[in-house]
Each structure stands twice: as C-alpha cells, then as structure tokens.
Amino acid sequence: MREIVFDTETTGLNPATGDRLVEIGCVELVNRVETGNSFHCYFNPQRPMPFEAEQVHGLSERFLSDKPLFADKVEELLDFIGDAPLVAHNASFDFGFLNWELGACGRPIVDMGRMVDTLQIARKIHPGAKHSLDALCSRYGIDRSHRVKHGALLDAQLLAQLYVELTGGRQIGLSIGEAVVEEVVVVATPRAVVAASRTIRAIRPHFASEEELERHKAFVEKLDAPLWLEGATG
C-alpha cells in the first residue's frame, strides 16, 4: 500500500486569519517502507513572516521572497500525493493549511477521510505521556540529533520512521528489497501448515536383542569389583 507522510511549516496557526503555508515536505512509503521518493518545496507567502514563526522554522521573509507561489507548484504536489492516504502529526493542522491553499487556487480540497493522524495513534498507545514529535522520537530511539529547527522534509522523514514504529515496528520490513509482504507471509506460516507437510515415520523398536543381552552379560562378568556391588550381600 502506498502512503504519503507529510509535514508543513506556516506563518502562523490559522489560515482563516491570513496565515499561509510556506513549506511542505512529503515522503513516500510503500508497505510501510520508505522508497526514497519525496517532494519538497518552499513557498512565497506574499506576507510578512511573524517573528515567533521564524523562531520555530528559521524561514525568513527575505529567504522566501524569491520562492514560487503555492499555485505554481500545486500540480506537482498533487501528482506526487496522488490518491494515497496522507499521514501527519496533529494532522488536522496540516490538512487545514493544505486545503486552504488548494481552495485558494481553485483546486478540490483533500478528502479528510484520507487523513491518518499519528498524534491520535500515539495518544491511544501511550495515554498520559508526552506526544510531541521530539518526545516520541526519543521514546522509540529515532535519531533526531540533526534537527535544530523545524523543517518540513526533515520532520516528515522523522515522522515516517515514527509511523512505522507506532504501527508495528521494524519487523514489517524484515526482507531485503521489495518482497516485504512475501517475506512476512513466509515467516508467519502457521505451524499447523508446516506440520501437515512432514512425513510421519513409524516408531522404531528400541529393545536389545538376545545377542546384545548376552554380550552385555559377558562384559559385566569381566568387571573387577564394580562399584554398584559394593556392600551387596549374596
């Protein structure tokens, strides 16, 4: 199954009050294994960058000033995500900005039925724990040492690893190459099926023959004061 893990960076928290999408990063998974295919783009928001937002992701108004508009890259983005389920952390936030931008340039919005929210998954698995991306990466031993500031593609790559852990862990991809499903099927073959394919052999007799018993008796009679006869009376 093909899935897209994605993350966004924005100028703020609410597109309805003028905030805009400024970066998106997408990572492709097939059968929960990263394929190496990704989509990444910065966008010119055509508005100032609030200081608080810049402190989070480090994207300045000057840096974004020569970047394409969302409308200029929307077709490439839609071609990449296709009709795959879309995985995000606190997904309603990312979906909200993505759908606002799609609507603003006259494209159909993404069906919310395609949304997979790793935040909700984590809350069910670890109730009462911290559920930020940083905290969950630490919990599952995912290296985030190179994450100084938020970045959409980097965060999507970290989230892809986390998503695999939250939905079954590394055993999903035990095989080398593409035959992931086939390998899992082989490993998970029921013992009953294996047993049914075995040849059942008749039980072999394990009794000593008369000749073997006579040889054993002659051998014992040659022993000089065996230990098991010490203290025995005639």
According to the annotation, is 3 in a ligand binding site? Answer: no
Higher pLDDT, residue 49 or 209: 49
Burial of 194 (0-12, 13-18, 19+ CB in 10 A): exposed
Q: Give the domain ranges of the chain.
A: 2-189
Task: Please give the Cα distance from 49 to 80 (Å, whole number).
Answer: 28
According to the annotation, is 57 in a ligand binding site? Answer: yes
* Residue spans of alpha helices (H) in the chain: 51-57, 61-64, 70-81, 91-104, 118-125, 133-139, 152-166, 180-187, 191-196, 210-221
According to the annotation, is 7 in a ligand binding site? Answer: yes
Pick the CATH number of 2-189 from 3.30.420.10, 3.40.640.10, 3.40.50.10900, 1.10.540.10: 3.30.420.10
According to the annotation, is 9 in a ligand binding site? Answer: yes
For residues 69 and 101, is the Cβ–Cβ distance under 8 A?
no
Each residue of 116-166: pLDDT tens digit? 999 999 999 999 999 999 999 999 999 987 766 678 999 999 999 999 999
Phi/psi region, residue 231 (left: phi>0; alpha: psi -120 to 50; beta: rest), is: left
Amino acid identity of 38?
A: S
Q: So which residues are the catalytic ones?
A: 150
pLDDT in the model for residue 170: 61
Each residue of 178-216: pLDDT tens digit? 433 333 333 333 444 334 445 555 655 566 777 777 887
| Average pLDDT over every residue of 103-116 | 97
Which residues is 118 bridged to in the sheet? Answer: none
pLDDT in the model for residue 52: 95
